[in-house]
Amino acid sequence: MTKTKLSKIDKAEAKKRIQKICPILAKTYPDARCALEHKNPLQLLVATILSAQCTDVRVNIVTKELFKKYKTAKDFADADIKQMEQNIKSTGFYRNKSSNIKTACQRIVEAYNGKVPKTMYKLLELKGVGRKTANVILGNCFGVPSITCDTHMIRLARRLQLSENSDAVKLEYDLMKIVPEKKWTIFSHLIVFHGRGYCKARKPDCANCPIAEHCAATNNSKFL
């Protein structure tokens, strides 16, 4: 299906739409949270790097054993790269992911005394860390309000007509203007849960969707 470019979004209307859908999504998904299992910022950093082009379910299976073997940033920094590749092979792109994890952890050990940094600027210095990964860590580990623009967010923002941008960074800044800051992190979780529950990429369940009345896709298939 050819993607249809959205007309310029009315930010005021989009903001009102957010105010309507957030309470519904919160009621629908009361347990919405980060799906990547972790006990500390380092574990979430590693898990998020592994999640690229891989399901959270698979990542959680892999990290269950991985985190028993590598417990600190120094453990990852000193790890035998070939062994780590075998440990994470089933997540895909394992050579690149192993290199990113090892190099990022070397930087964490050398520059931050083995602790994952708490700012966007410093996180983005780490190899393999983009704004998506940084926002996941900031929002879930350090209490910094953060909007994570993954594939679910990009898809639903279009269907709900919250932004005309499909570029993750531009979309993030658009959403920052219409979603209350204190809700940025939970909004990201709610969208992911809804994207997996009802608003799937290929076959959205519009007939049973709890926020269907606020969605452009319900009445116009070009937004699907």
Catalytic amino acids? 132, 150
Go through the chain and tell me how many residues it has: 224
42 burial (CB, 10 Å; 0-12 / 13-18 / 19+) is buried
Backbone angles phi, psi at 57, to 5 degrees: -60, -45
State whether the Cα torsion 15-193-184-93 is positive or negative.
negative
Instruction: Extract the tokens encoding 14.
Output: 């989009």
Which residues, other chains included, contact 219 with Cβ-Cβ below 8 Å and sequence gap of 6+? none
From the list 169, 167, 170, 119, the residue with the least C-alpha distance to 141 is: 119
